[in-house]
Chain A
Amino acid sequence: MSVLLAFAAAMLFGTGTWLLLQRRLSRIIVGVGLIGHGSNILLLTSGNGRRLPPIIGSADPTDFADPLPQALALTSIVITFGVTAFLFALGYRSWKLTNDDIVEDDVEDRYIARRAVDAEVAEGEAAERERAIEEDRV
């Protein structure tokens, strides 16, 4: 694979990740699309390079491009499209419910984490009390 194509894949992944880290669902959708394109480049270039289309009868098979990565890339395209369509549906639903397409933090998870720390503090205090009783006895 040439450095140029590797760079293109890297740029697609980099920008895609940047968009995935945003709060807007519409930007996340664009990010998923870009990462999908990046992985297609990786899949395609894992073949044997730039050769003739593998259409039987059109040329000598030794000159064909490796069709297996192409098949995988085709699957990837279809899957990316499926994911994108699903995210569109999510975005539409989000707009219906909140008039916006923002992905909020899950407050419940924050709450659980804070409660765990509270429990820890309580446990430490109980252990402290236990130790005091122990020392009293001895």
Chain B
Amino acid sequence: MSLRAPLAPSASMFALLAFHLVIGIAIVAAGQQLGRGGFAVAATAPLAAVIWAITQAGGVLDGKPVTESFSWVGGLGISLDLRLDAFALAMVALVSGIGFLICIYALAYFKPHDPSTPVKSNVGRLAGMMTVFAGAMLGVVLSDHLIALFIAWELTSITSYLLIGNDDTSPRARAAALQAILITGMGGLVLLVGLNIVGQAAGTYRLSEIIENVPTTGSSTALNAGLICVLIGAFTKSAQAPFSSWLPGAMVAPTPVSAYLHSATMVKAGVYLVARMAPMFATQGNWRVVLLTVGSATMLIGGLRALRQHDLKLLLAYGTVSQLGFMMLLFGTGDDHIAQAGVVLLLAHGAFKAALFMVVGIVDHEVGTRDVRRLGGFGKGWRLTLVAGVVGAASMAGLPPLFGFISKEKALDGYIEHGDFVGSTVVLTVIVVASILTFAYSARFVLGLLGVFADPDFEASCVDDVDSQRAQAPSLLFVGPALFLTVFTVAVGLAPVIVNRLVETATMALHPEAKPKPVHLWSGFNTAFVLSLAVIGTGTALTVFRSRVAAGLSVASKAMRLVPSSEQSFNFLLRGVGVAARRVTGVLQNGSLPIYVAIIMMTATGVPLIAFAQEWTGFGDVIETPVHVALVAMIISAALGASIVRRRIAAALMLGAVGYAMAGLYVVQGAPDLALTQFAIETLSTVLFVLVLRYLPSTWTHRAPALAAPMRIGVSVFVGVSVFVFALVASGGRSRSARRSSPRSWSKIRTPRARVRMSSTSFSSTSAGGTRWVKSPSYWSPRPVR
């Protein structure tokens, strides 16, 4: 790790991130006063980011990344390295560009129908948290250091939690927020492990340095495990199977949040990380197998489930899950041509999915429902909204001449021409099948929006009354952002040259050796085009025969219900943890002192016993000196007596007898001062005991014990045996090491200068001043230790 100046000459990226943070916190603080006006303030942050990105774009697109660095924890080599290369620039365009549009959109979204109704008090807070999120997301895409990236990553999880659960009075919102933070938080921790392993294996935590010096051999098992951990982190964040359940749940959030976090930006963080890592690691370990399997499964499951939704927003959410799987399949292969298709899809998806969410939000806001069975066409003034919805869905379906068509074409072409790894044909098939599904659910979205699925019976069964025909048309401010994205989608579709340079340099930022081909609307009558035509044809057929498809899907889903879904497994797991915790607490914390004591004693002696029993070398001397026999016999018989007798005074005297025998043992072992102390204290204890016993009855009556007698005997014997093993093994350890260090070294301590007398008495005079009277004056040090 090279030494860098604490602050690079230019700190514009840090300033930008700090600006987001300051603006965000300021809006949260002033949320009550600002209300929905908070979004007007919030818009300044992404606008600043966009303007800054445009000023930097020239150099970055020439292949000169902007870097800034700030040493944070110097000792650990953790620094905040920021780096804007072309791929990061594409992500910034997505994060800040859409962020700005969303702020404008939200301004209209949170405007109440009736001007007299007050805006909800938590709207201002929402605006502030969204700004903080935008800053965190910028941090993710600008971080060059893995640890800095992780911190920003976690910040996006936390802000996502707060945004989903912003309506804190709704139990559904709280549950969805909790599910999101549990899944992405768990994934974040796994990611931290993975990033550390990768960083250690590479010898550096800077992405731009790892790619120049990719770790290949060495601890390949560890590296493989680390990469799997990184993938799990990316999968949870990007809602891949089997972690996808939180994303549809997150749709309880207000639509601006869903459009921004849960379609255009945050869920792409996992894709972003995979895109960054794949060029270095795709060929190593199990990366490709895991990633292609998970991506394929996600793409298919998302598409199938989207096809069955009645709620337009949920349809889009499952569609997003499917498209995220698609992006994984494109970025994760490690092939530069396929990755280029990924960059195109990233931009195209951001544009059409955000526009579609905005359209759904407009319908929801003006009509009061998002259910296709309750939408029966729209009146005057809705034309622009419907155009935005139809064009967006067409782009999602991959119809020419739109941005989405180009991305799908490029993806198919990439897999056909450059899919030279194991399983690429299978993945290509999956992509084609899932694209048919995508076409079908896009068509479902359009038909639903146009009122084809309107169902009077269902409408009659609903409590509230909605009428889409007479709904108030949205204002131009409301539709504007969606229209802007629609125009962009069409413009890029017709003239891909607009994004060509960005796409090419972004691909080269990921794969330094890549030679990207330019993107075209019409790239000849090739295999990819034939497949595209097949997708459109089959998709149209699925749409025409949709009632039969729906019947078939319904049968299939009944069969699939036997297999637990990701949501059910999550709930089962969550409930299981709660049940287990309560059961364990119920057993351990049951209010009975004897049971507590038994558990504590068994644990305190049993756990060391496992280690000590392995060191067991056998018995040593049985008897050291005959004197011991007499003393031990007295100790044991008195102890047994004390635990059997039923008279309190007898038990007290027995305890005293043990103490006096112990004093005798001290004398034999060469510790006369201990013997004196023991003698005095034992006498004192017995006196105290008798004083207290004066009050208590002389014998005790029987009470039902908390533990049955065999249990108590078992615990006692277990503790005794453990101590026995411990005593023999531990003293064996002493005799092995202590014999080497000669006790002669003690005499060296007795220099004239150091009058610290190595006798237990001088120790006790400092540690237990209260027992000073025990000491014999004959060995009392003239200069006590201070």
Contacts and interface: CB of A to CB of B under 8 A. Distances in A.
Contacts of A50: 624-625, 668-670
B763 A11 contact: no
A11 B620 CA distance: 18
Given A5-B632, A10-B724, A105-B592, A74 B746 contact: no
A15 B760 contact: no
10 contacts: A6-B728, A23-B593, A26-B648, A41-B662, A42-B727, A49-B669, A50-B625, A68-B763, A70-B671, A117-B582
A14 B624 contact: no
A7 B632 contact: yes
Nearest to A91: B692
B74 interface: no
Contact of B636 (A8, A17, A29): A8
Contact of B727 (A9, A53, A85, A95): A9
Interface in A102-132: 102-103, 105-110, 112-114, 116-117, 119-120, 123-124, 127
A10 B723 CA distance: 5
Give the top 4 A-B pairs by smallest Cβ distance, nearest first.
A14-B720, A109-B591, A106-B591, A65-B670
Given A1-B731, A61-B746, 18 more contacts: A1-B727, A4-B624, A4-B632, A6-B727, A10-B721, A18-B713, A19-B642, A23-B703, A26-B696, A29-B689, A44-B666, A44-B669, A48-B743, A62-B743, A67-B760, A71-B764, A73-B666, A78-B770
B590 interface: yes
Interface in B588-636: 589-594, 597-598, 601, 605, 619-625, 628-629, 632, 635-636
A75 B766 CA distance: 11
A113 B586 contact: yes
B591 A14 contact: no
Interface residues of A, number: 93
Contacts of A66: 743
B interface: dominant SS: helix
B652 A30 contact: yes
B719 A65 contact: no
Nearest to B656: A33
Contacts of A92: 692, 695
A43 B477 CA distance: 82
B7 interface: no
A11 B641 CA distance: 12
B176 to A, nearest CB: 14
B784 to A, nearest CB: 14
Contacts of A57: 779
Contacts of B578: 120, 123
A82 to B, nearest CB: 10
Interface string A16-37: 1111111110110111011001
A11 B639 CA distance: 8
- Interface range for B: 35 or more
Interface string B740-752: 0011101100100
A49 B734 CA distance: 10
B621 A2 contact: yes
B364 to A, nearest CB: 19
Interface string B626-664: 001100100110011011000010011011001100100
Interface in B653-703: 654-655, 658-659, 662, 665-666, 668-674, 677-678, 681, 684-685, 688-689, 692-693, 695-696, 700, 703
B112 to A, nearest CB: 30
Nearest to A87: B692
Contacts of A48: 734, 738, 743
B259 to A, nearest CB: 25
Interface in B699-731: 700, 703, 705-707, 712-713, 715-717, 719-721, 723-724, 726-728, 730-731
B566 interface: no
B579 interface: yes
Contacts, number: 294
A22 B705 contact: yes
Contact of B628 (A5, A23, A30, A52): A5
A128 B571 CA distance: 12
B248 to A, nearest CB: 13
A73 B724 CA distance: 18
Contacts of B643: 15, 18-19, 27, 30-31, 34
Nearest to A96: B695
Nearest to B742: A62
Nearest to A80: B681
Given A1-B731, A41-B665, A61-B746, A70 B716 contact: no
A75 to B, nearest CB: 6
A4 to B, nearest CB: 5
A30 B672 contact: no
Interface in B751-786: 757-760, 763-764, 767-768, 770-771, 778-779
A77 B619 contact: no
A74 B674 contact: yes
Contact of B768 (A78, A84, A106, A114): A78
Contact of A3 (B619, B658, B670, B760): B619
Given A70-B674, A74-B763, A13 B666 contact: no
B669 A54 contact: no
A127 B571 CA distance: 9
Contacts of B170: none
Given A5-B628, A105-B706, A120 B582 contact: yes
A101 B579 CA distance: 37
Contacts of B674: 44, 70, 73-74, 77
A65 B671 contact: yes
A30 B651 contact: yes
A134 B129 CA distance: 32
A101 B693 CA distance: 10
Contacts of A95: 692, 695-696
B557 interface: yes
Contacts of A123: 575, 578
B767 A71 contact: yes
Contact of A71 (B705, B744, B760): B760
A112 B695 CA distance: 35
A109 B508 CA distance: 64
